[in-house]
């Protein structure tokens, strides 16, 4: 069993033992459901329902408003209460369709019916994925139908299923590999139908031996699919690092994975493709991990998109004590939540509740030029020099140091003994440079 990896990276405390052995629990929400129209990269969807309308499970309530956009489907049946701005995870407000859940979960006609993907044309498959509102569920939220339609499909050599789940604490992908491997392989076979020359690689870190064994058993008779074992290291699951580790190919910020002959999809996304194409079910649910030492009982939950984060806390037994910090996502690339009264979206992956805010305890000190940030950076950058440029508002130098190639993965910040907020600096600098470029 060979292990593939990339240059750089770090080994933070994993924390996965809190929830890795806990089966996925299905949660059926009650009351109000809130569906943001912007749950993806690109233009927000346009609401196509109004106050007072009756909706069904699987019904489209928001329509993609551009090439890079995605449909939004209701996860419950009920009555539209409002179409109005509501607070989102990042603290901003955006247009949402608010549905009063009737608790009946009445579905649209044909919801859940079996469908033979082998009898569908490639265009029909892409249209189904688009209609179902499937997007990248690993965090980016890129519309999947667009990803499955590269300019030169004949040049796609690899379909990479990202099962690395390198972010600490998160175990939702791991549990899905154990509990529904048939759907993962089924979704991958749907994608492979679109690309005749491609090979499917299910990429899993070596700290998940049970998942590796399960998936290897599932694909033992599949001549176009194999399991690729990766060395456990953060950020192994990043798109560029995954491509490098699994195929040896390189891409940069100006390129797409398709430019390197690759398409990368998260475990949850591949399952969503399977359900949309083979089970006539749009993207209306997702699996999340509720974990951290502040939770009484960490748990993995299958939740309906649109439910409230605050309502999920009880599924983890509530909090042992008031959390010092709550993070949406993992500790490396997630972001702090200041209010749990916000809806679950297609890209929500976890609620991480901690009794101690370690970041707040770390007082930054001057750089000692130790070079640890350079060794940790998976992008082969020099964070120390980049930070110096940003601190002087010298964005030209930041760009010349390839600062726009930063993954914002947090490896440099984690490795820094001076506890300098490097990733935060680079995130702000990249946003500034991008804004200036748009103006020009």
Binding-site residue positions for [4Fe-4S] cluster: 367, 370, 373, 377, 406, 409, 412, 416
Tokens of 255: 């390129």
What is d(CA 45, CA 66) in angstroms, rounded to the nearest whole number?
A: 8
What is d(CA 89, CA 340) in angstroms, rounded to the nearest whole number?
A: 8
What is d(CA 87, CA 93) in angstroms, rounded to the nearest whole number?
A: 4
DSSP string for residues in 94-157: EEEEEEEE-S--PBPTTTT----GGGS-HHHHHHHHHHTT-B-TTTT--BHHHHTS-S-GGG--
Closest to 410 measured CA to CA, from 5, 10, 6: 10
Residue ranges of the annotated binding site are: 367, 370, 373, 377, 406, 409, 412, 416
φ, ψ for residue 339, nearest 5 deg: -155, 130
Angle at 30 between CA 266 and CA 114, to 5 degrees: 50
Asked if 316 contacts 296 with a C-beta cutoff of 8 angstroms, the reply is yes
In the numeric block, the tokens 């370690």 are attached to: 358
- Residues near 335 by Cβ (< 8 Å), separated by ≥ 6? 89, 90, 327, 328, 329
What is d(CA 273, CA 264) in angstroms, rounded to the nearest whole number?
A: 13
Question: Residues 275, 276, 281, 285: is their CA dihedral positive or negative?
Answer: positive
- Stated as kind and residue range, the H or E segment containing 431 is helix 422-439
Q: What is the 3-state secondary structure (H, E, C) of 333-364?
A: CCEECCCCCCECCCCCCEEEEECCCHHHHCCC
């Amino acid at each position: 069993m060979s292990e593939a990896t990339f240059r750089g990276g770090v080994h933070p405390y994993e924390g996965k033992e809190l929830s890795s052995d806990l089966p996925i629990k299905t949660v059926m929400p009650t009351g109000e459901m809130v569906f943001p129209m912007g749950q993806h990269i690109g233009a927000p969807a346009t609401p196509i329902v109004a106050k007072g309308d009756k909706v069904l499970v699987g019904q489209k309530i928001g329509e993609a408003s551009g090439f890079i956009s995605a449909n939004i489907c209701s996860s419950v049946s009920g009555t539209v209460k409002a179409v109005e701005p509501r607070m989102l995870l990042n603290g901003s407000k955006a247009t949402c369709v608010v549905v009063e859940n009737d608790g009946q979960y009445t579905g649209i006609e044909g919801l859940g019916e079996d469908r033979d993907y082998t009898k569908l044309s490639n265009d029909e498959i892409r249209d189904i994925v688009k209609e179902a509102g499937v997007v990248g569920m690993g965090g980016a939220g890129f519309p999947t139908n667009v990803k499955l339609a590269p300019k030169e499909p004949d040049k796609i050599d690899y379909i990479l299923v990202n099962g690395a789940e390198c972010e600490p604490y998160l175990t939702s992908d791991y549990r899905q590999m154990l509990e529904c491997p048939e759907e993962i392989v089924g979704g991958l076979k749907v994608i492979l139908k679109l690309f005749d020359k491609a090979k499917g690689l299910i990429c899993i870190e070596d700290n998940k031996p049970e998942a590796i064994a399960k998936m290897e058993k599932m694909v033992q008779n599949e001549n176009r699919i194999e399991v690729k074992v990766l060395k456990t290291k953060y950020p192994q699951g990043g798109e560029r690092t995954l491509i490098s580790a699994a195929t040896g190919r390189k891409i940069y910020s100006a390129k797409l994975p398709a430019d390197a002959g690759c398409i990368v999809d998260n475990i949850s996304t591949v399952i969503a493709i399977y359900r949309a194409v083979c089970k006539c079910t749009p993207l209306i649910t997702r699996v999340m991990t509720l974990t951290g030492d502040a939770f009484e009982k960490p748990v993995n939950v299958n939740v309906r998109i649109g439910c409230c984060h605050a309502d999920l806390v009880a599924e983890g037994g509530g909090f042992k004590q008031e959390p010092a910090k709550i993070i949406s996502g993992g500790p490396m690339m997630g972001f702090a939540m200041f209010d749990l009264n916000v809806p679950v979206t297609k890209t929500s992956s976890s609620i991480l509740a901690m009794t101690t805010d370690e970041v707040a305890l770390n007082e930054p000190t001057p750089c000692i030029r130790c070079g640890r940030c350079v060794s940790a950076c998976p992008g082969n950058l020099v964070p120390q020099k980049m930070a110096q440029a940003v601190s002087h508002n010298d964005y030209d130098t930041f760009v010349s140091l390839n600062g726009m190639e930063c993954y914002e993965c947090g490896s440099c910040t984690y490795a820094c003994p001076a506890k300098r907020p490097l990733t935060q600096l680079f995130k702000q600098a990249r946003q500034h440079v991008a804004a200036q470029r748009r103006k020009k």
